[in-house]
Chains A and B, each alone.
Chain A
Amino acid sequence: MGVRILERVQLSDLVVKLVFDAPLIARKRKAGQFVILRIHEEGERVPLTIADADAEAGTLTVIFQVVGKSTRHLAELQVGDEILDLVGPLGQPTHIEKFGTVCCIGGGVGVAPVHPIMQAMKAAGNEVIAILGARNKDLIIMEDEFRKCADEVMLTTDDGSAGFHGFLNQALEETYLKPGRKIDLVVAIGPVPMMRAITEMTAKYKVPTVVSLNAVMVDGTGMCGGCRVSVGGEVKYVCVDGPEFDGHQVDFKSLTERQRTYIEQEKSSDEHYCRCLKGGN
Chain B
Amino acid sequence: MDAESLLLSLELASGSGQGLSPDRRASLLTSLMLVKRDYRYDRVLFWGRILGLVADYYIAQGLSEDQLAPRKTLYSLNCMEWSLLPPATEEMMVQTSVVNGRFMGDPSHEYEHTEMQKMTEGDRVFEEEIVVQIKEETRLVSVIDQIDKAVAIIPRGALFKTPFGPIHVNRTFDGLSLSEAKKLSSYFHFKEAVELKDKTLLEKADLDPSLDFMDSLEHDIPKGSWSIQMERGHALVVLRSLLWPGLTFFHAPCTKNYGYIYVGTGEKNIDLPFML
Judge: A and B partners, yes or no.
no
